[in-house]
Amino acid sequence: MKSVISAAQAAARIPDGAVLMIGGFMGVGSPHRMIDALVECGRGSFTVIANDSARPGIGIGKLIDGRRIRRLVVSHIGTNPETQRQMITGEIEVELVPQGTLAERVRAGGFGLGGILTKTGLGTPVEDGKPTFAVDGETWLVERPLRADFALVAAKQADYVGNLCYQLTAQNFNPIMAMAADIVIAEAEEIVAVGIVPPDMVRTPGVLVDAMLRGDASARDLQGAVATAERAAPATGAARSQQ
């Protein structure tokens, strides 16, 4: 049986300067209680590998607001003006990686591969300083694997041996990040008895999970609020354009 710990206990295990993979897509599928605990514990200088930096006050955006991140490896920062501001002023280093390349670099790190070959980014600043490789007369960009000290993932359900299942698109980067870190801490909305999670629903096997913390109603409410805001955003923008 895996240990079930508090968010504060989980945050206490993470030292300053750690490399973190954090699941989520614009805050959906992110471990919100874990992020809150990291902000509250006062540690920082983290390198964070994630899809994005969400929005101010949401998900990874809270770590940005609290200036807990030294370096960010993400596919975009377009929805968080505070991340943009800190990048421009030099407070934070940002490595922008095409989203598919980011996913494959994380997967490579988890599967023990030495890297990936891709054409994405050739002839652009993405290529700068990176090796290329010729295959059958075609040039490919070599992208190195990504690994982390800790993966912080969010799940819909976990059982007491750490098997995790996810809800719809909240799965996003969580399963591959759980493969690519030395220590995996999972935040589940609920923890159930072994056998409740159907075997074919398990996306992260318990052998990968080191510790778990239970999510709460506020985390579930935030997931819903983020999703609702995302759906409403285009309509809001259209309404404004007509004014």
pLDDT digits 0-9 by tens, 164-221: 999 999 999 999 999 999 999 999 999 999 999 999 999 999 999 999 997 665 445 5
Radius of gyration of the chain (CA): 18
Q: What CATH superfamily classification does 3-113+146-234 receive? A: Glutaconate Coenzyme A-transferase (3.40.1080.10)
CB 172 within 8 A of CB 29: yes
Tokens found for residue 28 = 């959906």
The answer to whether residues 237 and 79 touch, using CB atoms and an 8 Å cutoff, is no
The dihedral formed by the CA atoms of 21, 22, 24 and 25, expressed in degrees to the nearest 10: -60
Q: What is the pLDDT of residue 38?
A: 96
pLDDT at 232: 56
Given a cut of 70, whether residue 73 has pLDDT beyond it is yes
Beta bridge partners of 181: 148
Give percent of the chain above pLDDT 90. Answer: 86
Residue-wise DSSP of 15-77: PTT-EEEE--BTTBT--HHHHHHHHHH----EEEE-SB--BTTBTHHHHHHTT-EEEEEESB-
What was the pLDDT predicted at 224?
A: 53
- How confident is the model over 157-163, as a mean pLDDT? 95
Interval 32-51: pLDDT, tens: 999 999 999 999 999 999 99
Amino acid 233: pLDDT: 53
Is residue 242 scored above 50 in pLDDT? no
pLDDT greater than 90 at residue 70 = yes
Q: With 80 as the cut, is the pLDDT of residue 140 above it? A: yes
3 state SS of 178: helix
DSSP H/E element including 219: helix 217-242
